[in-house]
Amino acid sequence: MKRAAFRLQPVLELRRTEERTAALAAAEAARAAADADRRATEAEAAVSASLPSGPTDPLAFRARMAMARLVAEDAAAARALATASAEQAELVRAAWTAAAQRTKGLERLRERHLRTVRLAEQAAEERTVDDLVTGRSGRRTRTDGEAAWRD
């Protein structure tokens, strides 16, 4: 008996490839978000290190305050980038989840198809066995009946 092929197998393979690609993109986006967060944390730590300390003349104080403001702006920009990167990573992860759901749906269809094929093969095998048993039983009965009529 020829085994029925799952017609959507090429689509399933495409979905699996899309899911793998989305998983790689999600991993890369998560890594980028973690790196951006690390850089933002480092920039925020640099803000506290750049604050003026100790007695200084007015010009040095103004210069340190200007430098601290620039460092604080850099830290704020780094934090904004980290936040945007985390949001982007979440969107990419959502795309990966959607790809996985599409793949899972086709995999369920494939499993159902294989189960149906397996059940059909079992039913055909049972019919064949039943036909063999019924055919032999019918021949034996006739032979026994014919022998009874001859005696």
Please write the tens of the pLDDT for every residue from 18-66. 999 999 999 999 999 999 999 999 988 888 777 767 677 888 888 888 8
Burial class (CB in 10 A: 0-12, 13-18, 19+), 116: exposed
The span from the CA of 102 to the CA of 122, in Å, is: 31
Report which residue type is found at 18: E
Q: Is the pLDDT of residue 16 over 70?
A: yes
Tens digit of each residue's pLDDT (9 = 90 or more) over 104-130: 999 999 999 999 999 999 999 999 888
Residue 35, token pair as written in the block:
């790196």
The span from the CA of 88 to the CA of 97, in Å, is: 14
